[in-house]
Amino acid sequence: MDPLHLRSAGTSLLISFDSGEAEVVHWGADLGGTLPDLAILTEPVPHSSIGARVPAGLLPQASSAWRGRPALRGSRIAGGVSGLDFSARLRVLAARVEGTTALIEQADPDAGLSVQSALTLHDGGLLELRHTVTNDGTTPFQVDELATVLPVAPDAVELLDLTGRWCRERHPQRRPIQQGTWVRTGRHGRTGHDSSLLFAAGTAGFGNRHGKVWATHLAWSGNHEQFADTIGDGRTMIGGSELLGPAEVILEPGGSYTTPGLFAAYSDRGLDGISEAFYSWFRSRPHHVLPAASTGLPAGKPRPVVLNTWEAVYFDHNLETLIELAKSAADLGVERFVLDDGWFRGRRGDNAGLGDWYVDESLWPNGLAPLIEAVSSRGMEFGLWVEPEMVNLDSDIARAHPDWIVGPAARSHKDGGRLPLEWRNQHVIDLVNPEAWKYIYDRIDALLGGNNISYLKWDQNRDLLEHGHAGSSSVHQQTLAAYRLFDELRKAHPGVEIESCSSGGARVDLGILERTDRIWASDCNDALERQTIQRWTGLVVPPELMGSHIGPTTSHTTARTHDLSFRAITALFGHFGMEWDVRKVTGAGREELKRFIALFKEHRDLLHGGRMVRADVPDESLMLHGTVAAVPPEAGTTAALFAVVSLRTGYAEQPGRLAIPGLEADRTYRMEAIAPATGDPGYAHTFSQAQPPAWLDGGAVASGRFLAEVGVPMPILNPEHALLLKFTAL
Ligand code: GLA
């Protein structure tokens, strides 16, 4: 069978069948149209071995002597005997390319198993890989794991993955690749605060804009593993799988199981190239709500400026206060007002009410209509917080249906079954139970149908522990049932956008983003923390899908105090909004806030459609990132916005020249610092210098090449301050 070769945006995927099974023999740089006879890739055979080469299969298997982590683990149950057909020998039956997708079928007729694989190399270079295993036998087959893996080239010597916690999601950790397996396991029943959004291997010291990188992302919101597996002969596979609970997937004859998608990108220009592949995929989705004059893509709906009520009023819902807040927001230029937690029956704090998705009559005698009217009559959209997958024991629904609450026991807690430990005073509603699913669907559907709501902030605030349906582990089924809830509600209310929130950023993955319109990156609105949270979340998630709000002057989660300019410059590089009692923002501060909102609106096409550039800055006290117009801008228009961010004091007396990469080399630009402005309240303490660099007053003109190669001296910024630079194409 001839090899299959997919090529796109500088990436090649080459699949050979010479060994009898599908084998990815190259995933990396574009190889061009002419290939040699792939027999030249046949490795030597070492002593003490099977006496033949061992293929690094698309589905690595012991039947080919692969002694690393196998792709398929499972066994058959027949005639009262379990553990049968534990080792499949999958051989290719058919393979073809349809458009940008390679479709491969492999089977083991003796074991009664077949696996269909689809590998799509999208236009921007992002590879999407899924396998489906089918039970062709006559007795049940239990799937324990089906992993999606890809080989990385031998020059990949370092791993980067992300980890975190509540209010500090997605921070990097690095280690050398050595023999053995590095596994990141998520047993949260949701994606998890510590989940590695990106799992990357690369050449020594790879950075934001240099080095070769091979990176994967697992599109799944339940239990999962991501890993790099380096076997004794030195070959390394990276990939991931759903972490299935005991007997969660038993295939009846003819039944099948499909893996979550593994999304993968290769870059020869560091992590920025990886982000480009992901952003390009997001931006080409039909439902991607976007502006995008600067991307050349058809214009969609611009992301509205948000005001979210959480850190403004918390549970203290009072119609008069909320209307005042809405008026104040409208005056500032807000375009979407989101009513957070606290509006439904019995919800005066975080210990009651979840599940009772009726507007609380005691607080809202006329329903939400008066508030929605106050919001929409001022030209703003109305959004509502919900947490459909959860339930408090102190709720009418939990009292009426104790058997709808998830637990490890087959019987309900009212009948003596054990409940999992409470988490934020709440439990999980069993969406695998069709009646419970229907109740939740009907309630959210009724709320959306009966009110002018155009946005849901869909929260999920606990880990799924000891999660069972009818006494059996059911995280797999629950995850699919939750996905179905999103899908059906979207179908019924196509105009409604949905945000994925999960105690901040604990459900950030492409599985959920396939059915939602943005993520809440973190409950931490402290701009300093947000700089790094957004930097690393932005590896995969483009800024227009990453909620980013200006919080109160003193952060509610860290007690740090920051100037408005630092908070606003941080929020600008996401889906911009506020989570703050803006009624109390007055005087010069209010004028400054208005200017930032106007600035976001003026530049949102660029911010939400441009190329993300993250400089490799040698001085670790500084960060430099920006968005550069994806198509060459007309003379006189803004070509890029960059933020220079001071995280802490630097080691040197002054930061010296900072190279600004990513602009067109042969184009000339006017560079100017546009925020904070000289009259802003925080301007004076942004700097700590006797004299500013010459260009700061009045700007500078230079070519993209000069800016990238020579750079410009930066002002001495005080720690936890930032400067916004605008580049106008001349
Ligand atoms: C979670 C979310 C917050 C807020 C609260 C409301 O913690 O992450 O943004 O919505 O719930 O209870």
What is the Cα–Cα distance from 67 to 61, expressed in whole angstroms?
8
Counting from 1 in the atom list of ligand 1, the atom nearest the Cα of 350 is 12
Secondary structure of residue 436 in the 3-state scheme: helix
Return the residue whose CA atom lies nearest to atom 12 of ligand 1: 341
Sorted by where each begins, the domain ranges of the chain are 4-284, 306-392+431-465+493-606, 612-729
Q: Which helix (H) or strand (E) covers residue 477, if one does? A: helix 475-492
Phi and psi based region of residue 259 (left: phi greater than 0; alpha: psi -120 to 50; beta: remaining): beta
Return the residue whose CA atom lies nearest to atom 2 of ligand 1: 503
Among residues 194, 459, 463, 526, the one annotated as catalytic is 459
Counting from 1 in the atom list of ligand 1, the atom nearest the Cα of 385 is 10
Degrees (nearest 5) of the Cα angle 648, 654, 658? 85
523 is an active site residue: yes
- Residue 537 CA to ligand 1 center (angstroms) comes to 19
- Residue 187 CA to ligand 1 center (angstroms) comes to 21
- Residue 503 CA to ligand 1 center (angstroms) comes to 6
> Which residue type sits at 87?
S
Counting from 1 in the atom list of ligand 1, the atom nearest the Cα of 340 is 10
Return the residue whose CA atom lies nearest to atom 11 of ligand 1: 503
Q: List the CATH code of the domain at 612-729.
A: 2.60.40.1180
Q: List the CATH code of the domain at 4-284.
A: 2.70.98.60
Residues with CB under 6 A from ligand 1: 310, 340-341, 350, 385, 459, 461, 501, 503-504, 520, 523
> For position 289, what pLDDT does the model report?
60
> For position 288, what pLDDT does the model report?
80
459 is an active site residue: yes
- Residue 571 CA to ligand 1 center (angstroms) comes to 18
Degrees (nearest 5) of the Cα angle 418, 422, 424? 165
Return the residue whose CA atom lies nearest to atom 5 of ligand 1: 341
Among residues 463, 523, 526, 605, the one annotated as catalytic is 523
Identify any residues that bridge with 108 across adjacent strands, giving them in sequence order. 113
> For position 296, what pLDDT does the model report?
46
Cα separations (Å) of 269 from 203, 266, 273, 663, 675? Answer: 11, 9, 6, 15, 30
- pTM of the model as a whole: 0.97
> For position 642, what pLDDT does the model report?
98
Ligand 1: residue of 166, 350, 385, 508 to mutate (most ligand atoms within 8 A of CB) is 385
- Residue 509 CA to ligand 1 center (angstroms) comes to 18
Please report the sign of the dihedral spanned by the C-alpha atoms of residue 505, residue 507, residue 513, residue 517: negative
> For position 496, what pLDDT does the model report?
93
Residue in the block written with tokens 């699949």: 15
Return the residue whose CA atom lies nearest to atom 6 of ligand 1: 341
> For position 390, what pLDDT does the model report?
98
Ligand 1: residue of 344, 354, 460, 501 to mutate (most ligand atoms within 8 A of CB) is 501
> For position 297, what pLDDT does the model report?
44
What is the Cα–Cα distance from 246 to 165, expressed in whole angstroms?
27
- Residue 298 CA to ligand 1 center (angstroms) comes to 34
Query: If we measure between CA atoms, which residue out of 262, 69, 249, 256 comes closest to residue 144?
Result: 249
Q: Are 405 and 428 in contact (CB under 8 A)?
A: yes
Residue 352, C-beta contacts closer than 8 angstroms, at least 6 positions apart: 346, 392, 394, 395, 425
Counting from 1 in the atom list of ligand 1, the atom nearest the Cα of 504 is 8
Ligand 1: residue of 503, 524, 533 to mutate (most ligand atoms within 8 A of CB) is 503
- Residue 252 CA to ligand 1 center (angstroms) comes to 41
Ligand 1: residue of 459, 463, 525, 533 to mutate (most ligand atoms within 8 A of CB) is 459
Q: List the CATH code of the domain at 306-392+431-465+493-606.
A: 3.20.20.70
> For position 708, what pLDDT does the model report?
98
**Binned average pLDDT, 10 residues per bin, the chain of 730 residues:** 97 98 98 96 94 96 97 97 98 98 98 98 98 98 98 97 98 98 98 98 98 98 98 96 98 98 98 98 80 45 94 97 98 98 98 98 96 98 98 98 97 96 98 98 98 97 98 98 98 94 98 96 98 98 97 98 98 98 97 98 94 97 97 95 97 96 98 95 93 96 98 98 98
- Residue 311 CA to ligand 1 center (angstroms) comes to 9
